Amino acid sequence: MRAVQLAFRTATAADLPDIVRLLADDHLGATRERYSDPLPESYGKAFEALRQIGSEVILALDGQGTIIGCLQLMILPGLGQQGRWRAQIEAVRIASHLRGQGLGAQLIRHAIDRARERGCRSVQLTSDNSREGAHRFYERLGFKASHVGMKLALE
């Protein structure tokens, strides 16, 4: 099978329905997201807030320009490590019918390049404990399970 070469661009608010559709396209997202027409306004508010703090949603497009993947890239300043900037990757998705073809690797590598361009010295991400396949995927890309992540739900 020949690998598809993806194109990438930064999302706009008009892309939100496609982004939410991708986020809802797996076993965890199906319980967390609400893909409807119209979308809940909370998605638009969150998207605008991301843009205001210098973060972006990167879209992966196939050869026909169809959005087939996305991720959220946040650029975070820090005082630790002598003021080192880092990138946080979240909400990584490739359309379920296209997974396993190397497309996610292309998307992650593009995000890493964007982080370098923006002066980051490291890239970090978290992955739900139940996503064992995703953990193996990230390890193949060079990520290390170097920290223990914890959450406290405030709802």
Classify residue 103: in a domain, yes or no. yes
Residue 30: predicted pLDDT: 84
* Cα–Cα nearest to 138, from 124, 150, 151: 124
- Domain count of the fold of the chain: 1
Per DSSP, the three-state class of 139 is helix
Classify residue 155: in a domain, yes or no. no
Q: How far apart are CA 155 and CA 132, in angstroms?
A: 26
Strand partners for 90: 72
Classify residue 57: in a domain, yes or no. yes
Classify residue 45: in a domain, yes or no. yes
Q: How far apart are CA 96 and CA 68, in angstroms?
A: 9
Per-residue model confidence as pLDDT tens digits over 88-135: 999 999 999 999 999 999 999 999 999 999 999 999 999 988 899 999
- List the domain range (segments joined by +) for residue 19: 7-140
Tokens at 134, concatenated: 């995703």
Strand order in the sheet with 67-76: 7-10, 56-61, 67-76, 86-94, 122-125
With bands split at pLDDT 50, 70 and 90, how would you rate the model's confidence at 3? Answer: low
Classify residue 154: in a domain, yes or no. no
Classify residue 150: in a domain, yes or no. no
Of all helices (H) and strands (E), which one includes residue 123? strand 122-125
Lowest mean pLDDT, pick from 18-22, 29-33, 88-92: 29-33
Percent helix, strand, coil in the chain, to 5, is 35, 20, 40
List the CATH number of the domain containing 108.
3.40.630.30
Sign, CA dihedral 111-114-120-121, equals positive
Tell if the pTM clears 0.75, that is, is over it: yes
Tell which wins on pLDDT, 23 or 81: 23
Classify residue 148: in a domain, yes or no. no
Q: Is the pLDDT of residue 49 over 50?
A: yes
With bands split at pLDDT 50, 70 and 90, how would you rate the model's confidence at 2? Answer: low
Alpha carbon distances (Å) from 83 to 10, 77, 121, 125: 27, 7, 10, 19
Mean pLDDT value of segment 20-40: 90
Residue 1: predicted pLDDT: 47
Per-residue model confidence as pLDDT tens digits over 57-94: 999 999 999 999 999 999 999 898 888 999 999 999 99
Classify residue 62: in a domain, yes or no. yes
Of all helices (H) and strands (E), which one includes residue 74? strand 67-76
